[in-house]
Amino acid sequence: MMGLIYKDVVALKKQLSTLLVFVVVYGGFCIAGVLDFSIIGALITVFGLTIPMSSVALDDAAHWDRYVVSTPAGRSGIVAGKYLFTLLVILVSFLAGTAFMVSLSLLGFTDTPPLQLMVTNLSCAAATLLLDAILLPFLLKYGAERARVISMITFILIFGGGILLMRVMDNGSPLPSLPDWMGNTLPVLLGLLVAGGFALSYTIAQGIYLRKEF
Amino acid sequence: MNNALEVSHLTKDYGAFRLEDVSFTVPGGTIMGLIGENGAGKSTTIKCILNLLHRDGGTISVFGMDNLAEEQAVKAQMGVVLDESSFHEGLTPLQLGKTLSRLYPHWDDRYYQDYLIKFQLPGKKTIKTFSRGMKMKLAIAAAFAARPRLLLLDEATSGLDPVVRDEILDEFLNFIQDEHHAILISSHITSDLEKAADYITYLHQGRVAITGAKDELLETYGKLVCGKADLEKVDKSLLKGCRVGQFGCEALVKNRHAFLRRYPDLTVDPVTLEDIMVLTGKGDAQ
């Protein structure tokens, strides 16, 4: 499995360097005060979604999965490798993004306290994990090309839903208030939802790969 | 002598094509050549052994282990070369070696490096710069470096020039000097199999048409070359297939010695594997 992750990192080296340029450019904009620091959180989502998708696209193009199934790693190894790689991408993006934002906050480039920046990034990382949990089974079943449509629909539903919610709030319509117990435990509940969703997604993807033919 | 591979009553139904009741055995220390026309079921058979396809019936065992129940242990004993390169074009052979060393438990990196040198493959150039032949050699180097006991090769020598093919066939022959090693190789290039294989299984339209020791097959089967009038006199049950042309006829004789005892005036030539394939195919077509 570590071999598969190593392969993903090496095969995507060029793309990773391009994404690093994004970080530098957007970081520069943040320091210059052109963009808000929350853009770094958005980059975590961009990285966490595009990198695993690109890795599946490259595997498809090379028919790599067919080869790996014939090795001792087998079908379950491919799925485990891809999920672990996705987790790793999100974790590294979160850590790097947070370190960058907190450093700039401590240096006085933003008034936002470091803790709030961390919470912003953590929310972005959790949302990315949930989105990946939805997308990865489709990616592994249909391949990157065919799963692209499903990804678009998912994004439209989520972001469209978000915009709709904001419009409702802007119009002064009251949103149903959460019970006290739920309000207090919401972060824990969301955390469980994300972790449970990712675990469920992994189980579904294993089932998909078990039935797949090459 | 233990069997390296036993395929028994293998069945796979695609609807339009059906691999039916395929059985053969590859003893240790031997090379089994899998021949057949395009779409005869060679790749399907190899894919079923590798569990790339789900079989509909039959059993497959590798060194006595079921290929599904003990999949990981079975695959640790196998080196694989598929019909086309499945390696990422952006990787270099050295990076590929690092990847595969973490997938195969018996991976031998020194052996891999030796093969890269032997096959003149630059370790630091990306695979996308390689020719088809070089990619095939890289796949063969990787298959050997996994230190397998069974090599599965699907059209592994296609796309290689005769000199390299010969060199690789020598490597295959070296590999099976150990009687615990064996090779299953599918190929269209029957001359390669005539040179290297000990056993032949000929798949025709999804079924085993012929299987047995290569020398025995080449010794038993014969090619009848005669005129149309002579062919009409021959008992058709002695033939497996024939080709009737404008200037003469050719037919595959099942047992050339028995045939010559019955028809001493007719000429029966020794056959090649290609003759067996072509004439059996023609026999069906007619």
| Chosen from B86, B95, B112, B126 to mutate, greatest number of chain A CBs within 10 A | B86
Instruction: Convert the pLDDT of each residue in B66-101 to its tens digit.
Output: 999 999 999 999 999 998 889 999 999 999 999 999
pLDDT tens by residue, B165-201:
888 899 999 999 999 999 999 988 888 899 899 999 9
Q: What is the pLDDT of residues B198-250, one digit of tens each?
A: 999 999 999 999 999 999 999 999 999 999 888 888 898 999 888 888 888 89
- Alpha carbon separation from B103 to A67, A84, A107, A140, B97 (Å, rounded): 11, 16, 45, 20, 10
Length of chain A: 214
Give the DSSP per-residue string, A146-209: HHHHHHHHHHHHHHHHHHHHHHHHHTTPPPPPPPHHHHHHHHHHHHHHHHHHHHHHHHHHHHHH
- Looking at the structure, do residues B105 and B63 belong to the same domain, yes or no? yes
Last residue of one domain, picked from the residues B216, B235, B265: B216
Residue A157 CA to chain centroid, in angstroms? 16
Average pLDDT over residues B19-43: 94
CB contact under 8 A, A74 and B100: no
Q: What is the pLDDT of residue A79?
A: 97
Q: Are B19 and B187 in contact (CB under 8 A)?
A: no
Of chain A residues 50-79, which have a CB less than 8 A from chain B? Answer: 58-59, 61-64, 66-75, 77
Do B188 and B252 lie in one domain? The reply is: no
**Same structural domain, B129 and B206:** yes
Q: Would an 8 Å CB–CB cutoff place A207 in contact with chain B?
A: no
The DSSP code sequence of A78-129 is HHHHHHHHHHHHHHHHHHHHHHHHHHHHHTTS-SS-HHHHHHHHHHHHHHHH
In this prediction the ipTM stands at: 0.88
Q: Determine contact: A1 vs chain B, CB below 8 A.
A: yes
pLDDT, tens only, B51-65: 999 999 999 999 999
Supply the pLDDT for residue B1.
Answer: 56
Q: How far apart are the first and last CA of chain B?
A: 41
Which sequence spans correspond to the domains of chain A?
2-211
User: What share of residues in chain B are helix, strand, coil (percent, to 5)?
Assistant: 35, 30, 35
Kindly state whether A7 is in contact with chain B, defined as any CB-CB distance less than 8 angstroms: yes
**Range of the structural domain that residue B149 is part of:** 3-216
- The verdict on B152 and B269 lying in the same domain is no
Q: Which residues of A touch B86 (CB under 8 A)?
A: 62-64, 66-67
pLDDT tops 70 at residue B114: yes
Whether B210 and B230 map to the same domain: the answer is no
- Residue at which a domain ends, from B200, B216, B232: B216
List chain A residues with pLDDT less than 70: none
Contact A214 B102 (CB under 8 A): no
Q: What is the pLDDT of residue B285?
A: 47
Chain B residues within an 8 Å CB radius of A4: 99, 102-103
Last residue of a domain, one of B216, B245, B273: B216
Please tell me whether residues B36 and B141 are part of one structural domain: yes
Whether B169 and B267 share a structural domain: no
B100: chain A residues, CB-CB within 8 Å: 3, 71
Q: Do both B9 and B24 map to the same domain?
A: yes
The whole-number pLDDT of residue B282 equals 67
Task: State pLDDT tens for residues A77-99.
Answer: 999 999 999 999 999 999 998 99
Chain A residues with CB under 8 Å of B75 CB are: 70-72, 74
Residues 6+ apart with CB under 8 A from B128: B89, B90
Structural domains of chain B, count: 2
- pLDDT above 50: residue B258: yes
CB contact under 8 A, B52 and A70: yes
Could you tell me if B210 and B104 lie in one domain? yes
| pLDDT computed for residue B263 by the predictor | 92
Nearest by CB to B88, which of A62, A77, A211? A62
Q: Which of B54, B78, B102 sits opposite A6 (nearest CB)?
A: B102
Q: Tell me whether residues B102 and A10 touch, CB distance under 8 A.
A: no
B69 and B189, same domain (yes or no): yes
Q: How far is A117 from chain B (nearest CA, A)?
A: 37
A3–B102 CB contact, under 8 Å: yes
- Whether A72 sits inside 8 A of B75 (CB atoms) is yes
CA distance A70 to chain B (A): 5
Q: Mean pLDDT across chain A, nearest whole number?
A: 88
**Which residue type is seen at B180?**
H
Say if residue B133 is in the same domain as residue B184.
yes
**What is the β-pairing status of strands B182-186 and B150-154?**
parallel
The CB-side HSE value for A34 (13 A sphere, CA atoms) comes to 6
Q: Give contacts of B104 with chain A, Cβ < 8 Å.
A: 71-72
Same domain, yes or no: B186 and B252: no
Q: What is the pLDDT of residue B284?
A: 53
Listed in sequence order, the residues at least 6 apart from B129 whose beta carbon sits closer than 8 Å to its beta carbon are none
Three-state SS string across B62-99, please?
ECCEECCCCHHHHHHCEEEECCCCCCCCCCCHHHHHHH
